[in-house]
Amino acid sequence: MSFADAQSGVIFEDASQPAEIVLAGTVVAGDAVGFSDGWKRALATAGGVIQMRCVAGQSGVSGQKITAYFGVCIVEGSRFTGATHRGALYVAESTDNGKFTQTAPSTATDATTIVGVAISATKMCLAPNIEVDSVA
């Protein structure tokens, strides 16, 4: 089974450094969130990179205030399936804004920052990046 991010059904087991943010786009609880003219879903795609800075603690739409986590988050639930144990997690690319993948983006200038690790097939440790970004 390959890794899949259903972008729904996340359960926060543990999360640190909560803060309130105002959204500039729609997000789902558990999404990778970054800042680009406002807080919105992160994306690794060249030319439109939005580096992950936090994890959405709640779902919301543009203009809403939600809780986001800027520290390490342990998440599980039906959102993630088929992860390779101990495998690195990256922000997804293409049109999968806010999702995670275990396939490292490889196009020049894609975001390649490791943002977490799989603890099991369905349990992830997410670590938002607030320091130096990396690109392919």
Domain that holds residue 16: 4-126
1 pLDDT band, cuts 50/70/90, is low
d(CA 24, CA 54): 14
Answer whether 0.85 is exceeded by the pTM: yes
Residue 131 resides in a domain: no
Contact status, residue 110 vs residue 46, Cβ threshold 8 Å: yes
- How many distinct structural domains can be found in the chain? 1
Residue 121 resides in a domain: yes
pLDDT of residue 110: 87
Residue 134 resides in a domain: no
Closest CA to 25 of 66, 82, 53: 66
Residue 133 resides in a domain: no
Contact status, residue 42 vs residue 85, Cβ threshold 8 Å: no
* Cα-based torsion angle of the residue sequence 44, 48, 53, 54 in order, rounded to the nearest 10 degrees: -80
Tens of pLDDT along 49-104?
A: 999 999 999 999 999 999 999 999 999 999 999 999 999 999 999 888 999 999 99
Residue 89 resides in a domain: yes
133 vs 95, more confident: 95
Residue 118 resides in a domain: yes
Residue 95 resides in a domain: yes
Residue 135 resides in a domain: no
